[in-house]
């Protein structure tokens, strides 16, 4: 089942590359089918998932490089389950939005499907080499999607994004190989299985640099302050469909990596560095929100707000307790839904008015009443209004930080910084919403039509989800909590011989 979810977009992308609309095949229909099937299967897995188990489920293993014991091994647990559903959902939405593309639409849709497949593979891979392959696969289509279909300084944005990501990826590869080498010294068996390696005791001196290598790869992808400088450029240059996956799903692969690799593999190093990196995350929360307030371009405003919200997610992970990490996983889903919806709204406003500049957008409420209602709901969710999904995730994260033993020395300060960012979020989201919708009507608002059935249909699922998750978060948290508890209590049962381990046991 999981293999079908990963390879369906790849097959659809290959079909699109070798066929064209002129040959009697609708590239749009092929792409929709290639993204609809993974979504349907992902929802099916979520309904049949055993919420009481923290172990991997629906595991599939196929021999790949047998000489090195490298396998195509995939599975899903409570953390990866919602990332799977989120990625499949956002990919389907992104494909629908992409149908408006006029320039080389088949190639664009094929690359979007490959980006979906790479992201799905990252969340499902149980073999570290397979994880690395999918991690790199995400980069290739993103490079072409931004570089060929982007806007503004797209070449600069693409090069900066690729360089940042490649450096982190190469460091992670070194750590992956070293991790397997340490396991081999202890057992004389080659293994790249994440589940096996997490039980291997890593010497204390090696934990430090290996943790840093993994961390840098994930911190760049999230991104955590100060590794965020590629994000505004990439987001500003990206087409809206690419942004849906870039901010909604791909940015979550970094946070997922912290939970899947750094936390269980290097618990001592993670605990030692939690206060410092938690501080960077907290700084990013406030910094991103503060910069967002100053933006006039709606796309830039949402991009900087993402820096802030992604900092919340990272901070919850560094709390190293159930509340914080449960909240972070839930907030990954929430941010994916909210930020993607905001970017879609920005795209609609630009298409209908010809501008993203708040100074030129005024009084659209009268001519766009449907978009007004949708925009208001999403904006309220983004600023964390109780009863909507944004509130639940942020509340759990702040509770986790407040009760964290790893952040205890500065937990109160980090909570205050998070609270300050929430105040800033209220400022920039209301500034964005009121500036475009409720100010004195501008001349351009007289000739602007409201959104049609297609745009409303694209935004409606987000509206439903922000309310549903806000009212019934337990459905989501109950499937995450057992896995988080397991990751926090993994026992290191595989040890190096005493004379080879200079670190403490």
Enclosing H/E stretch for 478:
helix 474-488
DSSP single-letter state for residue 151: -
Confidence band of 444 (pLDDT split at 50, 70, 90): low
Is the Cβ–Cβ distance between 473 and 392 less than 8 Å? yes
Predicted confidence at residue 441, as pLDDT, reads 67
- Averaged over 431-439, what is the pLDDT? 82
- Averaged over 213-239, what is the pLDDT? 91
Number of Cβ atoms within 10 Å of the Cβ of 212: 17
Predicted confidence at residue 18, as pLDDT, reads 83
How many whole angstroms from its chain centre is CA 367?
Answer: 34
DSSP single-letter state for residue 249: I
pLDDT of 416 higher than 90: yes
How many whole angstroms from its chain centre is CA 65?
Answer: 30
- Enumerate residues 6+ apart whose C-beta is below 8 A from 315: 278, 281, 282, 285, 324, 328, 397, 401, 414, 418
Is the Cβ–Cβ distance between 429 and 383 less than 8 Å? yes
Predicted confidence at residue 239, as pLDDT, reads 92
b/e per residue 149-182 (b: at least 16 CB within 10 A)? bbeeebeebbebbbebbeebbebbbebbeebbeb
Predicted confidence at residue 25, as pLDDT, reads 60
pLDDT, one tens digit per residue, over 234-271 is: 899 999 999 999 999 999 999 999 999 999 999 899 99
Q: How far apart are the first and last CA of the chain?
A: 40
**Locus of tokens 């090696």:** 206
DSSP single-letter state for residue 191: -
Predicted confidence at residue 120, as pLDDT, reads 96
Least confident interval from 11-20, 305-314, 375-384 = 11-20
Cα(113)–Cα(494) distance, integer angstroms:
40
Share of the chain above pLDDT 70, in %: 95
Is the Cβ–Cβ distance between 336 and 252 less than 8 Å? yes
- Averaged over 5-29, what is the pLDDT? 81
Predicted confidence at residue 501, as pLDDT, reads 47
**Locus of tokens 């659809």:** 12
Is the peptide bond prior to 234 cis by the omega test (within 30 degrees of 0)? Answer: no
Take residue 238 and report the two structure tokens written for it.
């990206």
Mean pLDDT of the chain: 89
Take residue 174 and report the two structure tokens written for it.
């070194």
Cα(367)–Cα(448) distance, integer angstroms:
6
Predicted confidence at residue 498, as pLDDT, reads 52
Cα(247)–Cα(337) distance, integer angstroms:
10
- Enumerate residues 6+ apart whose C-beta is below 8 A from 409: 275
> What global pTM score does this model have?
0.91
Take residue 394 and report the two structure tokens written for it.
């942020």
User: What's the longest Cα–Cα distance across the chain?
Assistant: 79
Confidence band of 505 (pLDDT split at 50, 70, 90): very low
Is the Cβ–Cβ distance between 285 and 366 less than 8 Å? no
The packing angle between helices 78-98 and 322-353, to 10°, is: 0
Planar angle of CA 442, 448, 452, nearest 5 degrees: 145
């Amino acid at each position: 089942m999981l293999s079908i979810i990963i390879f369906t977009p790849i097959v659809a992308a290959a079909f699109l590359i070798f066929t064209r609309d002129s040959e009697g095949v609708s590239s749009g229909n092929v792409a929709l089918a290639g993204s609809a099937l993974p979504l349907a299967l992902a929802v099916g897995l979520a309904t049949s998932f055993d919420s009481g188990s923290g172990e991997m489920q629906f595991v599939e293993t196929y021999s790949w490089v047998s000489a090195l014991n490298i396998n195509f091994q995939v599975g899903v647990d409570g953390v990866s389950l919602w990332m799977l559903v989120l990625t499949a959902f956002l990919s389907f939405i992104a494909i629908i939005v992409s149908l408006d593309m006029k320039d080389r639409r088949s190639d664009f849709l094929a690359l979007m499907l490959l980006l979906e497949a790479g992201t799905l593979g990252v969340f499902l891979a149980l073999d570290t080499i397979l994880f690395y392959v999918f991690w790199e696969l995400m980069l290739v289509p993103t490079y072409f999607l931004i570089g060929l279909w982007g806007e503004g300084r797209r070449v600069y944005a693409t090069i900066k994004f690729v360089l940042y990501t490649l450096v982190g990826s190469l460091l992670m590869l070194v750590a992956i190989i070293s991790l397997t080498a340490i396991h081999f010294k202890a057992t004389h068996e080659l293994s790249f299985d994440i589940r096996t390696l997490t039980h291997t005791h890593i010497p204390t001196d090696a934990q430090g640099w290996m943790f840093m290598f993994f961390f840098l790869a994930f911190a760049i992808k999230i991104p955590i302050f100060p590794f965020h400088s590629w994000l505004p450029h990439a987001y500003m240059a990206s087409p809206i469909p690419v942004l849906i996956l870039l901010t909604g799903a791909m940015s979550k692969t970094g946070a997922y990596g912290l939970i899947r690799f750094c936390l269980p593999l290097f618990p001592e190093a993670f605990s030692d560095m939690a206060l410092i990196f938690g501080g960077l995350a907290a700084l990013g929360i406030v910094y991103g929100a503060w910069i967002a307030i100053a933006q006039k371009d709606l796309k830039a405003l949402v991009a900087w707000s993402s820096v802030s919200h992604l900092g919340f997610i990272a901070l919850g992970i560094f709390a190293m307790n159930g509340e914080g990490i449960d909240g972070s996983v839930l907030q990954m889903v929430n941010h994916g839904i909210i930020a993607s919806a905001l970017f879609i709204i920005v795209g609609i406003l630009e298409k209908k008015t010809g501008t993203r500049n708040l100074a030129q957008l005024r009084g659209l409420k009268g001519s766009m009443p449907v978009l007004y209602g949708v925009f208001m709901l999403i904006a309220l969710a983004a600023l964390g209004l109780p009863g909507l999904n944004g509130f639940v995730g942020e509340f759990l994260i702040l509770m986790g930080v407040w009760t964290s033993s790893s952040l205890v020395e500065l937990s109160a300060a980090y909570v205050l910084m998070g609270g300050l960012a929430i105040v800033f979020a209220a400022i920039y989201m209301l500034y964005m919403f009121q500036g475009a919708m409720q100010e004195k009507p501008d001349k351009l608002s007289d000739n602007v039509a409201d959104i049609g059935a297609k745009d409303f249909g694209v935004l409606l699922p987000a509206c439903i989800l922000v309310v549903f998750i806000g009212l019934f978060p337990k459905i989501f948290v109950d499937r995450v909590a057992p896995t988080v508890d397991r990751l926090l209590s993994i026992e290191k049962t595989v040890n190096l011989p005493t004379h080879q381990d200079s670190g403490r046991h």
